[in-house]
Structure 1
Amino acid sequence: MGQLIGIDLGGTAIKLGRFSDSGELLAELQVPTPQPAMPGGVVMAIVEAVQQLDPDRLAPLVGVGLPGPMDAAGRVARVCINLPGWEQVPLAEWLEPQLQRRVTLANDGNCAVVGEAWTGAARGYDDVLLLTLGTGVGGGVLLGGRLFTGHGGAAAEPGLICVDPEGPPCNSGNRGSLEQFCSIGGLGRLSPLDPKELCRRADGGDGEALAVWRTYGRWLGIGLSSLVYVLTPRLVLIGGGLSAASAHFLPAALAELEQRVQAESRAGLELRRAALGNGAGRLGAARLALERLG
Structure 2
Amino acid sequence: MSSDQVIGIDLGGTAIKLARFNRSGDVLAELQIPTPQPPVPGAVTMALCEAIDQLDPDHLADLVGVGLPGPMDANARVARVCINLSGWDDVPLADWLEPRLQRQVTLANDGNCAVVGEAWLGAARGFEDVVLLTLGTGVGGGVILGGALFTGHNGAAAEPGLIGIHPDGPPCNSGNQGSLEQFASIAALRRLCDVDPRELSDRADAGDLQAKAIWQQYGTTLGVGIASLVYVFTPQRVLLGGGLAAASAHFLPDVRREVEARVQAVSREGLSIEACALGNGAGRLGAARLALQRLSG
Whole-angstrom distance in 1 between the partners of 2:195 and 2:284: 29
SS of alignment partner, residue 284 of structure 1: helix
Q: How does 1:177-192 map to 2 (within 5 A)?
A: 177-192=179-194
Please name the residue that 1:230 is paired with.
Answer: 232
Please name the residue that 1:269 is paired with.
Answer: 271
Query: Structure 1 residue 192: deviation in Å?
Result: 0.8
Please name the residue that 2:9 is paired with.
Answer: 7
For 1:273, the aligned partner's letter is A
Please name the residue that 2:90 is paired with.
Answer: 88
Identity %: 72
Query: Structure 1 residue 14: deviation in Å?
Result: 0.4
Which of residues 275, 281, 284 in structure 2 aligns to 1:282? 284
SS of alignment partner, residue 279 of structure 1: helix
1:120 matched to 2:122? The reply is yes
Alignment: residue pair count: 294
For 1:42, the aligned partner's letter is V
Q: How does 1:76-225 map to 2 (within 5 A)?
A: 76-225=78-227
SS of alignment partner, residue 6 of structure 2: strand
- What is the TM-score with the length of structure 2 in the denominator? 0.99
For 1:258, the aligned partner's letter is E
Query: Structure 1 residue 55: deviation in Å?
Result: 0.4
Whole-angstrom distance in 1 between the partners of 2:190 and 2:27: 34
SS of alignment partner, residue 132 of structure 1: strand
Please name the residue that 1:239 is paired with.
Answer: 241
Whole-angstrom distance in 2 between the partners of 1:218 and 1:163: 12
SS of alignment partner, residue 71 of structure 2: coil
Which of residues 23, 28, 31 in structure 2 aligns to 1:29? 31
Whole-angstrom distance in 2 between the partners of 1:219 and 1:180: 10
Unaligned runs of 5+ in 2: none
SS of alignment partner, residue 19 of structure 1: strand
Unaligned runs of 5+ in 1: none
For 1:216, the aligned partner's letter is Y
After TM superposition, what 4+ stretches of structure 1 lie above 3 angstroms from structure 2?
none
Residue deviations 1:121-156 (CA, integer Å, cap 9, x gap): 111111000000000000000001000000000000
Whole-angstrom distance in 2 between the partners of 1:31 and 1:117: 26
Cα RMSD for the two superposed structures: 0.4
Whole-angstrom distance in 1 between the partners of 2:124 and 2:207: 31
Please name the residue that 2:57 is paired with.
Answer: 55
Query: Structure 1 residue 81: deviation in Å?
Result: 1.2
